[in-house]
């Protein structure tokens, strides 16, 4: 029994060491990739890596913020610039990306999906039954809903409550808001499509052709 426990502990140590002994690639989109399977060609301005599905990807270094190497060194490829007339230094962009990353990992927009679903299913019945219009106009409702959803930012109060350490960091909040809006729109669109499909199925069940 002790032998099996020792082997198990050894395997855990080896696994942890393999995870630790990797580099962390930070993309400008806020995505993070922990890997040792990549090729960097600075002279060509290209990074080649394998994603989580083990598919080879190539990306220009203008889309890479930095590579944090396993030895503790960090190679920053981002150069200070202005985005929408707002200046971003290296550290400000780092904060912006932290916000993007946290939103991509933790922001939930279930409400956007539900509203999108209702808009999609409701639009399928609204036009032919209420407005006496052709049913192919029904996608107008979920499309309009998605457009309106994209105008609504995630609550700043909720961001501060969840991340009080970034309460005064406008760049973190801006990055979080950017990804939050994208997720709201995408979830609204998916909900709308599923809602339309549900409307079609229900119509066939209620009144088969």
Q: Specify which residues 60 forms β-bridges with.
A: 46
Dist CA 34 CA 104 (whole Å): 16
Q: How many CA atoms lie within 13 A of 12 on its CB side?
A: 6
Total-model pTM: 0.77
| DSSP string computed for 81-135 | EEETTEEE-HHHHHHHHHHHHHHHHH---HHHHHHHHHHHHHHHHIIIIIS---G
Q: State the pLDDT at residue 128.
A: 66
Joined together, the tokens standing for residue 195 give 């809602």
Which range (4-18, 46-60, 125-139) has the least confidence?
A: 4-18
Handedness of CA 50, 56, 61, 62 (dihedral sign): negative
pLDDT of residue 192 exceeding 70: yes
Which CATH number does the domain 2-78 belong to among 1.10.10, 2.30.30, 2.40.128, 3.40.50?
A: 2.30.30
Q: State the pLDDT at residue 21.
A: 67
Find the DSSP H helices in the chain.
2-20, 90-106, 110-125, 140-149, 156-162, 170-206
Dist CA 195 CA 125 (whole Å): 11
Which of these, 28, 34, 41, lies nearest to 68 by C-alpha position? 34
Which ranges in the chain are annotated with CATH 2.30.30?
2-78
- Quote the distance between the C-alpha of residue 42 and its chain's center: 27
The per-residue pLDDT for range 70-129, each reduced to its tens digit, is: 888 999 999 877 666 677 899 999 999 999 999 999 998 888 999 989 888 877 777 666
Dist CA 117 CA 191 (whole Å): 4
The per-residue pLDDT for range 130-188, each reduced to its tens digit, is: 666 666 667 778 888 888 887 888 899 999 999 999 999 999 999 999 999 999 999 99
Check: CB of residue 44 under 8 Å from CB of residue 72: no
């Amino acid at each position: 029994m002790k032998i099996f426990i020792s082997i198990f502990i050894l395997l855990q140590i080896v696994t942890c060491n393999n995870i630790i002994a990797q580099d962390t690639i930070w993309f400008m989109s806020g995505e993070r990739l922990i890997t040792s399977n990549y090729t960097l060609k600075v002279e060509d301005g290209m990074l080649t890596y394998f994603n989580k599905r083990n598919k080879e990807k190539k990306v220009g270094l203008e889309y890479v913020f930095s590579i944090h190497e396993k030895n503790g060194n960090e190679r920053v490829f981002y150069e200070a610039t202005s985005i929408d007339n707002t200046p971003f230094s290296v550290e400000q962009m780092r904060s912006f990306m932290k916000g993007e990353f946290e939103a991509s990992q933790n922001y939930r927009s279930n409400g956007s999906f539900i509203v999108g679903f209702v808009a999609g299913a409701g639009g399928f019945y609204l036009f032919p039954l209420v407005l006496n219009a052709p049913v192919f106009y029904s996608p107008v409702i979920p499309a309009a809903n998605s457009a309106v959803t994209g105008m609504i930012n995630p609550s700043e109060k909720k961001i501060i409550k969840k991340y009080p350490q970034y309460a005064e960091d406008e760049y973190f909040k801006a990055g979080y808001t950017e990804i939050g809006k994208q997720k709201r729109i995408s979830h609204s669109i998916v909900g709308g499509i599923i809602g339309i499909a549900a409307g079609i199925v229900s119509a066939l069940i209620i009144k088969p052709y």
